[in-house]
């Protein structure tokens, strides 16, 4: 089968100058040393069809890195044109360029440029959109040597996705999801209905309890007239100490009176306490005031007069002492001055002087012992007077303080008397109240007020009783309303109970349908896998990867409520199936991966591509594997155009020999990447035209 016809590559990856390469054959074997440009050719095909090279995308160091432009052609526009046969047999040429970091594709069909870029390219390849084409190219169109194992190492979800694409499992998955979502909705509805039922049950229970309470109250209810009469009687008993006007029989009037009675109790109690406190303080103060304040004032005045008299005499004595002392001191100083001047004659009159006598006289004067004694007596007298003045002063101070204290007590007594009078006045004011009159307070001892308060309490009780009787009058209406509410609640409860049962049954049914759906999806997938698995096995069997695990397939099961698909290898002689990644060697795993790739590609149905490109799939194979692979490729090329690269020239040669056309309508091509230089690879092409194979047995016949 032919599809890709030629490719022209410029400034792309390992290709520098523009190079056109023939691909127009059923099988193309591409050989060349490592780094000769083989993989660049595969990348060019991938890039043209998808606009990306996924394996290079992962290697970007920066988001803006250009990973496709040839490093020796910077500034040039990388451009690849791929010519192929469209799904309707038309000649298609797709030219992809990278300009300003963005790739774009121009598509010509039978020489005519068509609009639509990538989408047109996808439609030309027989796909409904470019995303589908890209997925097909990356998943079962091109097998890169460095992503071969990724086929196998894909998580179960990825296998599931591939199967979904191949088998059209999307509808099954959607159905399973839809059923699960319906189950969840049903469960939510049941939950909601149960909550509403619980609410209705609570409301009905509350109505039932209310009704019972109303009925009990009705049984115990007192007629309003009796209650009023009891209150009137209580009022009469309270009179005349308390006189009340009987209010009208209405709830607001009774409530207002009740409030007034309670307030009055509090006020009387408070006033009585305050009055008692004031009276007690007054009595205590009066008890302390046991002296006559006027007599105290007279005593103070007398003490002050005595003090002033003593003070006067003391001051006179002090003056006398000072005079006497001054005279005495002058005389002594005169005598002391005269003594040195004594001579035989008087310096004044010239008479003779008995100096001895004069000196003696003067010495006596100086001695003055008699005078000094008198002075000392005078001074003692002065001290006594001063002491007496001080004592008198203290007495005056004491008398003044006592007088001030008495005055203060007199003021306190006046204040307490005023306070007591205010309380008495308040109690007196009650008498002026038409409605409520405590007649006597019994000398303000509290006895009377206690009785009044007790009366008020009795009146309060009677009034409450009357109030209650008045309220009970509405019980009939309440009972009737509560009966209606209860009936409605019970009806609602019954309806909701039915709804819960209906929804729960529906949920149960949906849940079992959901389980059946999950099993059904597994069953359908399993049935379809049963038809696919022989192909997986047939591909794997030819490659002779493992001596005992000789069959390959996929298993589908449900894990934690989710479908998943797992790769499996089987040893049918002992009926063992296991994960190839566990039981196979690394080399064998590559062959397992290659088998899955080829089988997926062959199974893809309407999502298949007309070519299959394998980049160096032989690198991990031994001779037996390569022989098997070569045999496989002979058959593959009748289904798909096959492009295989290999760096191993011996295996490539073997492959080329095996792929030699055996009929006239088949052609094979060998592209030998002889060398690589900065301008790009040097390629030599060798075409083998088809010729009819010779069958020995026919010749013998």
Secondary structure E strands in 460-598: 551-559, 562-571, 576-578
Indicate the angle between helix axes 586-603 and 623-636, nearest 10 degrees: 0
Shortest reach from residue 157's CB to another protein, in Å: 18
Which listed range, 13-21, 77-85, 540-548, 587-595, lies at the site for another protein (CB under 8 A)?
540-548
Which listed range, 415-423, 479-487, 512-520, 588-596, lies at the site for another protein (CB under 8 A)?
512-520
Report the C-alpha gap between 506 and 420 in whole angstroms.
86
- Closer Cβ to another protein, 499 or 571, answer by number: 571
Please give the backbone phi and psi of residue 629, each rounded to the nearest 5 degrees, phi first. -65, -40
The verdict on 109 binding another protein (CB under 8 A) reads: no
The verdict on 505 binding another protein (CB under 8 A) reads: no
The verdict on 648 binding another protein (CB under 8 A) reads: no
Site pattern 44..63 for another protein (x: CB under 8 A): --------------------
The verdict on 516 binding another protein (CB under 8 A) reads: yes
The verdict on 695 binding another protein (CB under 8 A) reads: yes
Which listed range, 273-281, 376-384, 433-441, 650-658, lies at the site for another protein (CB under 8 A)?
650-658
The verdict on 1 binding another protein (CB under 8 A) reads: no
Shortest reach from residue 158's CB to another protein, in Å: 18
Which element (helix H / strand E) includes 335?
A: helix 293-338
The verdict on 352 binding another protein (CB under 8 A) reads: no
Rg (CA), the chain: 66
The verdict on 603 binding another protein (CB under 8 A) reads: yes
Of 49, 148, 532, 594, the residue at the interface with another protein (CB under 8 A) is 532
Shortest reach from residue 569's CB to another protein, in Å: 15
The verdict on 153 binding another protein (CB under 8 A) reads: no
Spatial CB neighbours of 452, under 8 Å, sequence gap ≥ 6: 241, 242, 268, 438
Shortest reach from residue 650's CB to another protein, in Å: 13
Of 246, 418, 505, 693, the residue at the interface with another protein (CB under 8 A) is 693
Which listed range, 35-43, 106-114, 164-172, 449-457, lies at the site for another protein (CB under 8 A)?
164-172
Pick from 202, 389, 222, 407: nearest CA to 297: 407
The verdict on 508 binding another protein (CB under 8 A) reads: no
On the 0-12 / 13-18 / 19+ scale of CB atoms within 10 A, 601 is buried
Tokens of 447: 């006895």
Shortest reach from residue 574's CB to another protein, in Å: 9
The verdict on 204 binding another protein (CB under 8 A) reads: no
- Closer Cβ to another protein, 320 or 695, answer by number: 695
Report the C-alpha gap between 37 and 32 in whole angstroms.
8
The verdict on 542 binding another protein (CB under 8 A) reads: yes
Shortest reach from residue 695's CB to another protein, in Å: 6
Tokens of 694: 């010779």
Under rule CB under 8 A, how many of the chain's residues touch another protein? Answer: 67
Torsion angle of alpha carbons 580, 584, 590, 596, nearest 10°? -30
The verdict on 452 binding another protein (CB under 8 A) reads: no
For strands 4-10 and 19-22, give the pairing.
antiparallel
Shortest reach from residue 679's CB to another protein, in Å: 37
The verdict on 556 binding another protein (CB under 8 A) reads: no
- Closer Cβ to another protein, 378 or 520, answer by number: 520
Place of tokens 């191949």: 166
Report the C-alpha gap between 47 and 121 in whole angstroms.
12
Q: Positive or negative, the Cα torsion across 8, 13, 18, 20? A: negative
Report the C-alpha gap between 355 and 338 in whole angstroms.
11
Q: Where are the alpha helices (DSSP H) in 339-368?
A: 355-367
The verdict on 261 binding another protein (CB under 8 A) reads: no
Report the C-alpha gap between 373 and 368 in whole angstroms.
9
The verdict on 172 binding another protein (CB under 8 A) reads: yes
Shortest reach from residue 694's CB to another protein, in Å: 5
Site pattern 557..596 for another protein (x: CB under 8 A): ---------------xx-----------------------
Residue 142, CA distances (Å) to 13, 31, 82, 122, 610 in order? 17, 17, 15, 16, 11
The verdict on 360 binding another protein (CB under 8 A) reads: no
The verdict on 538 binding another protein (CB under 8 A) reads: yes
| 292-298 own/partner pairs: CB under 8 Å, 24+ apart | 293/403, 293/406, 293/407, 293/410, 296/399, 296/402, 296/403, 296/406, 297/403
The verdict on 41 binding another protein (CB under 8 A) reads: no
- Closer Cβ to another protein, 457 or 572, answer by number: 572
**Interactions with another protein, residue window 606-635 (CB under 8 A):** 606-607, 623-624, 627-628, 631-632, 634-635
The verdict on 638 binding another protein (CB under 8 A) reads: yes
Please give the backbone phi and psi of residue 239, each rounded to the nearest 5 degrees, phi first. -75, 150
Burial 477-488 (b: 16+ CB within 10 A, else e): ebbeebeebbee
Three-class secondary structure of residue 348 per DSSP: coil
**Interactions with another protein, residue window 653-672 (CB under 8 A):** 654, 657-658, 662-663
For strands 641-646 and 27-32, give the pairing.
parallel
The verdict on 544 binding another protein (CB under 8 A) reads: yes
Indicate the angle between helix axes 251-288 and 447-472, nearest 10 degrees: 170
List residues near another protein by CB under 8 A: 166-175, 178-179, 513, 516-517, 519-521, 523-524, 527-528, 531-532, 534-535, 537-539, 541-542, 544, 547, 572-573, 602-607, 623-624, 627-628, 631-632, 634-636, 638-639, 654, 657-658, 662-663, 692-701
């Amino acid at each position: 089968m032919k599809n890709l016809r030629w490719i022209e590559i410029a400034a792309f990856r390992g290709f520098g100058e523009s190079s056109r390469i023939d691909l127009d054959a059923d099988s193309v074997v591409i050989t060349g040393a490592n780094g000769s440009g083989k993989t660049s050719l595969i990348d060019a095909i991938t890039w043209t069809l998808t606009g990306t090279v996924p394996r290079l995308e992962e290697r970007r160091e920066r988001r803006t890195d250009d990973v496709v432009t040839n490093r020796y052609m910077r500034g040039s526009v990388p451009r690849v044109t791929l010519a192929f046969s469209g799904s309707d047999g038309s000649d298609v040429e797709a030219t992809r360029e990278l300009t300003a970091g963005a790739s774009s594709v121009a598509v010509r069909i039978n020489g005519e440029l068509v609009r639509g870029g990538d989408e047109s390219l996808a439609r030309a390849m027989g796909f409904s959109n470019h995303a589908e084409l890209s997925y097909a190219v990356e998943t079962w169109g091109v097998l890169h040597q460095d992503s071969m194992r990724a086929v196998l190492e894909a998580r179960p979800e990825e296998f599931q996705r591939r199967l979904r694409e191949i088998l059209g499992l999307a509808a099954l998955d959607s159905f399973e999801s839809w059923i699960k979502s319906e189950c969840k909705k049903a469960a939510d509805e049941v939950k909601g209905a149960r909550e509403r039922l619980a609410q209705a049950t609570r409301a009905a229970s509350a109505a039932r309890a209310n009704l019972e309470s109303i009925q009990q109250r009705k049984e115990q209810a007192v007629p309003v007239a009796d209650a009023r009469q009891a209150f009137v009687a209580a009022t009469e008993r309270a009179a005349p100490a308390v006189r009340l006007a009987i209010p009208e029989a209405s709830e607001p009037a009774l409530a207002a009176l009740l409030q007034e009675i309670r307030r009055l109790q509090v006020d009387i109690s408070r006033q009585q306490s305050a009055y008692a406190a004031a009276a007690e303080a007054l009595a205590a103060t009066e008890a302390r005031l046991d002296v006559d304040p006027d007599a105290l004032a007279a005593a103070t005045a007398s003490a002050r007069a005595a003090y002033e008299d003593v003070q006067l005499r003391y001051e006179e004595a002090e003056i006398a002492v000072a005079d006497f002392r001054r005279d005495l001191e002058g005389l002594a100083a005169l005598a002391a001055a005269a003594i040195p001047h004594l001579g035989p004659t008087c310096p004044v009159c010239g008479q003779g002087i008995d100096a001895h006598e004069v000196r003696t006289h003067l010495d006596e004067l100086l001695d003055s012992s008699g005078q000094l004694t008198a002075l000392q007596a005078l001074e003692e007298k002065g001290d006594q007077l001063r002491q007496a003045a001080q004592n008198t002063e203290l007495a005056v101070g004491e008398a003044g303080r006592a007088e001030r204290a008495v005055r203060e007590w007199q003021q306190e007594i006046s204040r307490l008397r005023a306070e007591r009078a205010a309380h008495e006045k308040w109690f007196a004011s009650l008498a002026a109240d038409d409605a409520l009159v405590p007649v006597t307070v019994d000398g303000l001892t509290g006895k009377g007020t206690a009785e009044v308060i007790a009366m008020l309490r009795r009146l309060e009780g009677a009034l409450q009783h009357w109030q209650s009787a008045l309220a009970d009058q509405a019980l009939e209406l309440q009972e009737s309303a509560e009966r209606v509410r209860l009936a409605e609640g019970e009806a609602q409860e019954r309806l909701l109970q039915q709804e819960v049962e209906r929804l729960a049954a529906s949920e149960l049914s949906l849940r079992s349908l959901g389980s059946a759906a999950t099993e059904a999806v597994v069953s359908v997938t399993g049935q379809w896998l049963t038809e696919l698995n022989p192909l997986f096995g047939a591909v794997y069997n030819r490659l002779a990867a493992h001596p005992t695990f000789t069959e390959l397939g996929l298993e589908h099961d449900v894990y934690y409520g989710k479908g998943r698909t797992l790769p499996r290898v089987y040893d049918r002689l002992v009926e063992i199936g296991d994960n190839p990644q566990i039981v196979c060697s690394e080399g064998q795993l590559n062959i397992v991966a290659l088998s899955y790739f080829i089988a997926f590609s062959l199974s893809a149905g309407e999502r298949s591509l007309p070519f299959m490109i394998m980049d160096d799939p032989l690198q991990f194979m031994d001779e037996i594997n390569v022989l098997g692979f070569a045999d496989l490729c002979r058959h593959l090329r009748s289904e798909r155009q096959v492009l295989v690269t290999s760096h191993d020239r011996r295996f490539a040669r073997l492959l080329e020999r095996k792929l030699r056309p055996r009929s006239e309508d088949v052609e094979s091509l060998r592209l030998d990447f002889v060398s690589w230089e900065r301008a790009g690879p040097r390629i030599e092409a060798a075409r083998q035209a088809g010729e009819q194979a010779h069958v020995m047995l026919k010749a013998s016949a």
